[in-house]
Amino acid sequence: MPAPKKALRRSLTVTSAALTALALLSPAALAAPSPSGSPSASPSVTPPASMSAVGGARLGKPGTQVDLAGGAPVLPKDLTARSWIVADAESGDVLAAHNAHWRLAPASTLKMLFADTLLPKWPKTTKHKVEVSDLAGIGAGSSMVGVKEEETYTVHDLWLGVFLRSGNDAVHVLSAMNGGVGQTVADMNAHADELQALDTTVVSPDGYDMPGQVSSAYDLTLFARSGLQKKDFREYASTVRAKFPGETTKNKKGKPSRGTFEIQNTNRLLAGDSDVEVYPGIAGVKNGNTTNAGATFTGVAERGGRVLLVTVMNPAKNDHNEVYKETARLFDWGFAAAGKARPVGELVGPRSATAASPSAEAGGTGKGVAGTQPVAGAQTGGGAGGVGVAAGIAAGVLVLLAGGAFLVNRRWPLPDLVRRRTRP
């Protein structure tokens, strides 16, 4: 086994215990983003008879697609989501899917595309004073982190608000810094096209329900996979808790004073809840909830050296935290079925990576090694020196992901999912 792969398995194995211990220190319940209202119509009750064939013809068919060869376990029987997908993040193989290309309202999982598009634009230390116009147009009932007009925030603060609290206020401020909502929507749609996420149409950068705004379980998985190329994305998506700047007030001496307050990640598989435990090996990424979308979630987790991506959209069952419970069951199945179930499709690479490799075809098996171009903002490594080794991970600290590299699709480099300890 190559040295980077050994390091990957060693370092990721260490982290399950760390996150489990961290869960013991997490509060029993974390506030979720409130479902937003919407003027748009509800989606159809049944999926189209035929959908996109990106990633393979079977993924364009309605219903469940799985090939239980080689003694693979049967799928969980209590799955109620409109759409879901289980994919191997290293090979790009789709192990099973259900209406993978059904175009549905994405809710705040669309913020993965927002972050993947805008994260490379500014250093973390960039400061911005919020203007009244920055917060204009935020939808009623939106989840907010607590950004205040006339206050100054760093880009780092704003990204924490986006990832941890799904703050639409933080999204709108970053969009204003990017030239406005219209420019940001155009940038996101262009990036979705580059990723071959052709089910996606962005209308509002925060994922708030809007007429015509759709994505799919397949596309959301592509967004997560692309975002995980970026060190900052990995760190923000896996942060459990952080400090966020409060409002400036005057102290007893009449001098301006500005404190902080704690924000916690609303991803229940990462932070835990009263009826959901931290999922062993979880490393992010993003949840969502709106009137039209229902509950949506994309997660990434590692077990035994294998990294899986799971996306679940809109469970019909109305139980508390149902989207996380169904995601956890699909993770369990995926880890048990990996190496046994025959793939029913694949996660395609971005157009630039495909174009850089004449032998790579978007709908191919992804088994050949070919030249690639790293995604903007990605950190890749070569050999053992490119893989961070987790050491001294302790419960109660922010658990983040570090750099390194392994192959996705055998064509497109994805940094090693290795956690490291950082200061809270």
Q: Which residues are catalytic?
A: 108, 111, 166
Beta strands in 127-278 (DSSP E): 127-129, 152-154, 241-245, 249-250, 256-257, 260-264
User: And the tokens for 127?
Assistant: 């400061």
CA distance 208 to 210: 6
Other C-beta atoms lying within 10 Å of the C-beta of residue 186:
13
Amino acid at the residue 179: G
Place of tokens 């509002």: 204
CA distance 260 to 111: 24
CA distance 312 to 315: 8
Beta strands in 223-359 (DSSP E): 241-245, 249-250, 256-257, 260-264, 282-290, 294-303, 306-315, 345-346
CA distance 421 to 397: 7
- Residues 147, 167 contacting (CB under 8 angstroms): yes
Nearest to 278 by CA among 19, 12, 48: 19
Residue 161: which H helix or E strand, with range?
Answer: helix 155-165
Cα distances from 200 to residues 169, 230, 276, in angstroms, run 23, 21, 30
Place of tokens 């697609």: 65
CA distance 330 to 324: 10
User: And the tokens for 233?
Assistant: 């994305």
Q: Calculate Rg over the CA atoms of the chain.
A: 20
